[in-house]
Structure 1
Amino acid sequence: MKNILTILTTLFIIGTSFSQQTVKGKVVDSESKFPLPGVNVLVISDTTKTYGAATDVNGNFKITDVPLGRQQLKFSFIGYNPNIITIEVNSGKETVANVELEESSMEMEEFKVVASDNKEVANEMAVVSAQQFSVEETNRYAGSRGDPARMASNFAGVQGADDSRNDIVVRGNSPLGVIYRVEGITIPNPNHFSIAGSSGGPVSIINNKSMANSDFFTGAFPAEYGNSTAGVFDLKLRAGNNEKFEFSGQFGFLGTELLAEGPLSKQHRSSFLVMYRYSTLTLFSSLGINIGTSAVPGYQDFAAKFNFPLNNGGNLAIWGLGGKSNIDILISNQKDTSEVDLYGENTKDQYFGTQMYVGGVTYTHPLNKSTYLKSTLTTSLDQQNSFHDTISRNITSEGTFELLGKAQYMAYEFKTLRFSSATSINKKFGKKDVLKFGYVADYADYNFLDSVTTNSALQTYRYRWNSSGSYYSLQPYVSWKHKFSDNLVLTAGLSSFYYSIGDAFSPIEPRLGLKWDATKKGSFSFGLGRHSQAQPTYTYFYLNPGNSQPHNTELGLTYSNHIVAGYTHKFNKNLGGKIETYYQSLSGIPVETDSSSFALTNAGGGFSRLFPDTLQNTGTGYNYGVEVTLQRYFSGNWHAMFTGSLYNSRYVGSDGIERNTSYNGIYAVNFLAGKEFVIKERKTIGIGVKVTSAGGKRYGEVDTTASNLQGEVVFTDNNFNEYQFDNYFRFDLKLTFKANTEKVTHEIGLDLVNLLNTKNILSLSYAPVPGDPSANPIRENYQLGFLPIFYYRIDF
């Protein structure tokens, strides 16, 4: 350890002279993806000297000796709308800026440049409820922890469901409605310690250092996105540097990371990028830092991409990512009677592990100046396994827990192996029309096995899941984009979705979008769409007591009809605002055949699986609201953003009563701001803050008798979700220090999450007091308290 500290100290003080760096990238047509030669690229933020280059025949450019710090690049080309982006230039790594330019529908020889990081998404068919996010933002925003999902919770209409996890609630919808896509393929839940059927977890497997700028959609998304009713992460993996070997290392709360990238062949411009992370939470646990559990989580993950440019603009990429995690939550070791574990049950020891891997090959080729082909093949594995022991204990005369014994209670293993294919073709017809069509197909083998004790003394068990088999799905789609002019754009599409379990079929799902730039500063947008989604696979195969065959295999799809209207205004080049209002109608929600308040739309957050009774697709629901965003883009070394949403989320179960969904918080507000202070032109101190306020979690009346029988909190149907905990509040502060030496960049960061240690109530839990049957067995669980997250990063 002493030697490691010596090496890190030596690296930190190496080099004393201020340096410059290379900026390079590629410019292509936004719709055909065809390389654009002759594009002028200028650094416009430095007025003391002219830095620039023109793209070559393959659309590549390189600008040398660019000053360090944040710089603005202007891209201009005759016949195309110009673009201006902001980049960060460090001494330790070359900066890569890949840009897409949109062809103008008008015949003009020159254009007036009006741009300033307006965060337009990469998908050319999206005009509403879409947001681009960058790696820089996942690093810059306080409380984001380098996690795309936690960063997205800053957007209007999006909020976290649980501080200890990164599940997100989009416009009042269950996190079950959120999917992740990479290279056009829907991937398994990319989080450590994920529960079957969920979309979140405590720690993301996706490391932001391996990502390129990506898109996030919150509703009425284009036709190519299927099997989702709430939100879509469309993630991009970046290629490695194809000219220079570069390395990154990071040590911090979330793990020790190593990244390497560089050329495989400089002549053919092929490259590699590989990274690996291993958890270091053991160290923080030993320091007494509360991470929500006394157990020590262990996890490791990786990402890799091997990129091979081909002749005539083609490209072949071989990529993969994945991770493995495990945790032993031993409640039997607890002595303190006030201790509650956010990740476990208070009456059981749990041994839990997960695995998720996905690997694929992506081929892209601009067939000509108007046609672009993209095709991806992948294989993925998603697995969870858990073993639970019931414990019995007493309270000693000293007021501490005493373990009396434990017995085997439950064990399960869920595994899904999936093969996926996606192909799309973009075809331009002149300057005004673009047609995109393709498909996404999946074939999967599954194995679900779960048994639970029926008599702890005799150690007899029954199966709750005992199914294996296969299923497939197919989603063809077509989208059309028409420019009446550069100021008026229409997108329209049709999608279809078939899911073999239950023979579920949605034949036609129309999508429509319209954007009108009414003035130079203001634009209106409108979108609508019909979307469908299958249920979490394991929920189809639950075995009711006494049954030998699963009883929900005939479940159909859940449907969402979404309509959105918005207005965006540019006050000046650095300040913009947006307001959107929406209405979403839901049908086909699984509810119980018997009269009850149960609905699958309330599931999807936390660490609990569902044990559904017989279900039918007769539940309905609706969400509506208004969202406001006011953003000051990074300029003059500072940025700020305010987002607010006011919404209502309701559903009707099989008993015909309309209720609040479990995610109906009514409102959510975020304020973020950050400032960078440059010290002696080579060192930077950054300060960022985030303030969040949101409506409290929903709960109902507790059925104490049923809770005692089942060993968990059971709510009555009466007044279910009609009560609400106190409003949620959190203040985060992030501090960073960056030093650029001759060829090395050092960065130290400290993210102080919930700095004020505000006690926010998360849920109710079943925690009976041993030896005192008269005591209330229901207690309040709190969100994470103050959590300091630090890291040290080096790029060279």
Structure 2
Amino acid sequence: MVDKETKAVLIGVTVMVSDMAPAPGTATNDRGEFSLDSIPVGKHDITLSYMGYEGRTLRDVLVTSAKEVILPLEMEERVVKMNDVVVTRKREHINDMALASTRTFDVQETERYAGSRSDPARMSSNFAGAQGGDDSRNDIVIRGNSPQGVLWRMEGVDIPNPNHFNIPGTTGGPVSMLNSKLLANSDLFMGAFPAEYGDAVAGVFDVRLRNGNNKKYEFTGQLGLLGTEALAEGPISRKAGSSFLVNYRYSTLQIFQGLGIKVGTTSIPQYQDASFKLNFPMGKKGDLSFFGLGGLSRIDLIVSTLTEPEPQLYGESDRDQYFKAGSGVVGGTYGITLNDKNYMKFTIAQSASNVWALHTKVFRNASFAVDSMKDVLGYDFNVASTVAHWYINKKISPRQTLKYGIVNKYYSVSFLDSSRQYPTSRQDWQLRENYKGGTDLVQAYIQYKLRPSEVMTLTGGLHAQYLTHNGSKALEPRAGMRWAASGKDIVTAGYGLHSQVQPLYQYFAHLPQDPPGIMQNYNVDFTRSHHFVAGYERILGPHLRLRTEAYGQYLYNVPIERRIGSSYSGLNQGSTFSRNFPDTMQNTGTGYNYGIEATLEKTFSKGFYLLLTGSAFDSKAAGNDGVYRNTDYNTQYAVNLLLGYEKKIGKYSTLTTGAKATTIGGKLYSPVDVAASNALGDIVVVDSQRNSLRFAPYYRVDLKLGIRINAKRLTHEIAVDLVNVANTKNILSLTYSSDLAAQGVAYPFYTQYQLGFLPIFYYRLDL
């Protein structure tokens, strides 16, 4: 147990299991630790109280027979003496400077969500303002922004895309490398985020790893269709309180093939990942930890062996594709309480990512037989980065807190790309990128929090960033307000100016007709965005609350092509399996997003939870022709309904059930130019009518059924996730088919559908 600002150990905090009678209790020792033994399995409420600090109640903490429950807790000093307040654990923002547009990612709660595949990104798409709608990827689309605008952070430092099969310039992918079993509660920021976060214009997912058990050794094994994994944790030194936590997973999707279940591709993905955290307390004031996350993935998407056309969810129908990717980060962090007013933390990490691909075009005749094949695309992209984050948290008084720090991220890059795919008759290779070098993104920030009264909190700050290779710079003000108008009403507001670098490979690309040293987009500036948010929250009961938020965003300095009449906007990239090589760009584009969101939530109590979220919004962008058009992400609305029920069966077993219904506005697409598409060998849209057409709305229902059995020192869990249980045919895209063109079809395009019914099972053993 520590002070929220200074991380100083709190000795003598009273801890009670308040839902039991009589209520078992204890107090924290001289290291801020506590232990409660012989607590029955099931859900319990834990109440904390300490003189001079706000009281807290943690609702529905799950106790099983196998694993000890570890609760890293913080308490906030009172401004004035008053009665204790009850704060549910999932509602407490981990970042104390976040007052608006923030959702705490509670691992215990979100693991109940049906259809989420234990993927943190897919879990977060159930929150108001963050939606998915693409079964092939887990991109987080926040308030109509490109998912490219989302920053991933782990343990205080920026990390590369934490997904398997990731493509440069994206932040999502088909399979996450993050394992929810290792995560502590984390924050998802969806607008006007605090000053310590930079290089993002859409949102931030600030991921925290939990510490391993420092008292006893524990093991988790899991077998499932999406992965077979093992997790181990335990003490390194019980006396010192140090611990380890390590996890390894590899893919088992080949089981699909044996069961005859189609997953949208004829090839089986291969992937494996590992993660760890080592924690070493350094006396009562310091803490040293090391962490890491890494994964490898590859897939060979082979269509040349097909004897008839078959839709490919993950690949293209006219080529064999060979793809390999790998990424990882390893780092260390040291935090120390300097005195009763100051806390300092320093984190340094090294990350690396590699993506390699080769595409071989398959030419067929009118009877679908293979005529010939030729290599048409190859690339090898490598990015290594060293990132360091240093900050000091200073408690000026119980009313005032100051936080300031520096983030430095140096990139070392190697990009090689060559293509001869368009038109299909091309024989000469076009070199589009051949660069080795580096650049440095330097960031600094200062944040101030003022609590003039117990019911009012204000924050303000500045964030600055500078990109060395072309001199791009930004100075960004941030502000927030939270007013607890009464015991049941909360009003929030926030503003922020945010900036982001472009995908690195675009800076160093060159036009095929130019030598590699002439990089047409080398000096492109940051994309910038003003965020305005205002929210209202009404507490309807101990476990029920309604939250609404309205927002507006104005994006400017957006890269668009200099080409006269072009509708291209940098706001439309970042959510596909393709990289983007625009023509010469300039920072004169604009865009806007505005909307309203609502959340009705009943937190888990009496065996039942409910989450109903809805958002209505508009998202537009203008290219060089000055016309505001729908962005690729302007689905206009999204609604999620999640229900869950748990019931104890006998003394030691629990039945778990869950359901989810999602509807999202239809994806946008553009009219096609058939003649130009046939001449090029790929889809060519009518530029002036970009995103003027819309597919049918997306709709999906998921169910989850499971049972948890608490045996002596063991916990078994068996569950099945029934994704798209109604087998709804949702449209993903319109795709050009060179095979249909070869057969003389007048309209050589086919509709590509998303995943159908997909049952996902797992068996988990905790001991």
Q: Which runs of 5+ in 2 are unaligned?
A: none
The list of structure 1 runs, each at least 4 consecutive aligned residues, that deviate by more than 6 angstroms after superposition, is: 454-458
User: Deviation of residue 502 (structure 1)?
Assistant: 2.3
Whether contact under 8 Å (2:90, 2:105) holds in the other structure is no
Whether contact under 8 Å (1:394, 1:770) holds in the other structure is no
Instruction: Decide which of 503, 511, 514 is 1:544's aligned counterpart.
Output: 511
Whether contact under 8 Å (2:297, 2:326) holds in the other structure is yes
Question: Within the alignment, does 1:83 sit opposite 2:51 as a pair?
Answer: no
Give the Cα–Cα distance (whole angstroms) in 1 for the partners of residues 297 and 700 of structure 2. Answer: 28
Which residue in 1 is equivalent to 2:552?
583
Which residue in 1 is equivalent to 2:295?
323
User: Deviation of residue 107 (structure 1)?
Assistant: 3.2
Question: What are the Cα deviations for residues 121-180 of structure 1, in whole angstroms up to 9, with x where unaligned?
Answer: 110100000011122233210111111110110000110141111001100000110011
Whether contact under 8 Å (2:333, 2:346) holds in the other structure is yes
Question: Within the alignment, does 1:702 sit opposite 2:669 as a pair?
Answer: no
Question: Within the alignment, does 1:36 sit opposite 2:10 as a pair?
Answer: yes
Give the Cα–Cα distance (whole angstroms) in 2 for the partners of residues 229 and 453 of structure 1. Answer: 34
Which residue in 1 is equivalent to 2:703?
733
Give the Cα–Cα distance (whole angstroms) in 1 for the partners of residues 633 and 655 of structure 2. Answer: 38
Give the Cα–Cα distance (whole angstroms) in 2 for the partners of residues 703 and 120 of structure 1. Answer: 52
What is the one-letter code of the residue matched to 1:445?
Answer: S
User: Deviation of residue 444 (structure 1)?
Assistant: 1.1
Which residue in 1 is equivalent to 2:75?
101
User: Deviation of residue 544 (structure 1)?
Assistant: 1.3
Q: 387-396 or 94-103: which moved more?
A: 387-396
What is the 5 A alignment of 1:419-434? Answer: 419-434=386-401
Whether contact under 8 Å (1:580, 1:628) holds in the other structure is yes
User: Deviation of residue 332 (structure 1)?
Assistant: 0.7
Question: What are the Cα deviations for residues 507-544 of structure 1, in whole angstroms up to 9, with x where unaligned?
Answer: x2110001111000001011001000000101112221
Question: Within the alignment, does 1:53 sit opposite 2:22 as a pair?
Answer: no
Which residue in 2 is equivalent to 1:403?
370
TM-score (norm 2): 0.98
Which residue in 2 is equivalent to 1:22?
none
Partner of 1:63, secondary structure, is coil
RMSD: 1.4
Partner of 1:64, secondary structure, is coil
Q: 404-413 or 273-282: which moved more?
A: 404-413
User: Deviation of residue 708 (structure 1)?
Assistant: 2.0
Question: What are the Cα deviations for residues 527-578 of structure 1, in whole angstroms up to 9, with x where unaligned?
Answer: 0010000001011122212111221001000101001000011111010110
Whether contact under 8 Å (1:115, 1:573) holds in the other structure is no
Whether contact under 8 Å (2:424, 2:681) holds in the other structure is no
Give the Cα–Cα distance (whole angstroms) in 1 for the partners of residues 745 and 278 of structure 2. Answer: 63
1:634/1:545 CA distance change after superposition, 3 Å: same
User: Deviation of residue 771 (structure 1)?
Assistant: 4.3
Whether contact under 8 Å (1:407, 1:456) holds in the other structure is no
Q: 118-127 or 162-171: which moved more?
A: 118-127
Question: Within the alignment, does 1:663 sit opposite 2:637 as a pair?
Answer: no
1:113/1:681 CA distance change after superposition, 3 Å: farther
What is the one-letter code of the residue matched to 1:530?
Answer: L
What is the 5 A alignment of 1:102-117? Answer: 102-108=76-82, 111-117=83-89
Give the Cα–Cα distance (whole angstroms) in 1 for the partners of residues 536 and 469 of structure 2. Answer: 41
What is the one-letter code of the residue matched to 1:97?
Answer: L
User: Deviation of residue 283 (structure 1)?
Assistant: 1.5
Whether contact under 8 Å (2:228, 2:251) holds in the other structure is yes
Give the Cα–Cα distance (whole angstroms) in 1 for the partners of residues 758 and 90 of structure 2. Answer: 33
Give the Cα–Cα distance (whole angstroms) in 2 for the partners of residues 352 and 705 of structure 1. Answer: 31
What is the one-letter code of the residue matched to 1:464?
Answer: R
What is the 5 A alignment of 1:493-572? Answer: 493-506=461-474, 508-548=475-515, 549-572=518-541
Whether contact under 8 Å (1:58, 1:313) holds in the other structure is no
User: Deviation of residue 333 (structure 1)?
Assistant: 1.7
Give the Cα–Cα distance (whole angstroms) in 2 for the partners of residues 751 and 630 of structure 1. Answer: 24
Instruction: Decide which of 679, 693, 701 is 2:663's aligned counterpart.
Output: 693
Which residue in 2 is equivalent to 1:289?
261
User: Deviation of residue 580 (structure 1)?
Assistant: 0.3
User: Deviation of residue 118 (structure 1)?
Assistant: 5.3
Question: What are the Cα deviations for residues 3-39 of structure 1, in whole angstroms up to 9, with x where unaligned?
Answer: xxxxxxxxxxxxxxxxxxxxxxxx1111112111111
Question: Within the alignment, does 1:340 sit opposite 2:311 as a pair?
Answer: yes
Partner of 1:460, secondary structure, is coil
What is the one-letter code of the residue matched to 1:172?
Answer: G
1:118/1:791 CA distance change after superposition, 3 Å: closer
Give the Cα–Cα distance (whole angstroms) in 1 for the partners of residues 20 and 650 of structure 2. Answer: 17
Question: Within the alignment, does 1:233 sit opposite 2:205 as a pair?
Answer: yes
Which residue in 1 is equivalent to 2:414?
447
Which residue in 1 is equivalent to 2:734?
764
Which residue in 1 is equivalent to 2:177?
205
What is the one-letter code of the residue matched to 1:156?
Answer: A
TM-score (norm 1): 0.94
Whether contact under 8 Å (1:161, 1:169) holds in the other structure is no
Give the Cα–Cα distance (whole angstroms) in 2 for the partners of residues 722 and 525 of structure 1. Answer: 36
Instruction: Decide which of 748, 759, 765 is 1:788's aligned counterpart.
Output: 759
What is the 5 A alignment of 1:413-424? Answer: 413-424=380-391
Give the Cα–Cα distance (whole angstroms) in 2 for the partners of residues 591 and 684 of structure 1. Answer: 55
Question: Within the alignment, does 1:465 sit opposite 2:433 as a pair?
Answer: yes
User: Deviation of residue 282 (structure 1)?
Assistant: 1.0
What is the one-letter code of the residue matched to 1:490?
Answer: L
User: Deviation of residue 57 (structure 1)?
Assistant: 1.6
Give the Cα–Cα distance (whole angstroms) in 2 for the partners of residues 140 and 785 of structure 1. Answer: 22
Whether contact under 8 Å (2:43, 2:63) holds in the other structure is yes
Q: 277-286 or 765-774: which moved more?
A: 765-774
Which residue in 2 is equivalent to 1:21?
none
User: Deviation of residue 354 (structure 1)?
Assistant: 0.5
1:412/1:118 CA distance change after superposition, 3 Å: closer
User: Deviation of residue 466 (structure 1)?
Assistant: 0.7
Which residue in 2 is equivalent to 1:367?
338
Give the Cα–Cα distance (whole angstroms) in 2 for the partners of residues 102 and 721 of structure 1. Answer: 49
Which residue in 2 is equivalent to 1:485?
453
Give the Cα–Cα distance (whole angstroms) in 1 for the partners of residues 416 and 513 of structure 2. Answer: 16
User: Deviation of residue 773 (structure 1)?
Assistant: 1.7
What is the one-letter code of the residue matched to 2:81?
Answer: E
Whether contact under 8 Å (1:320, 1:358) holds in the other structure is yes
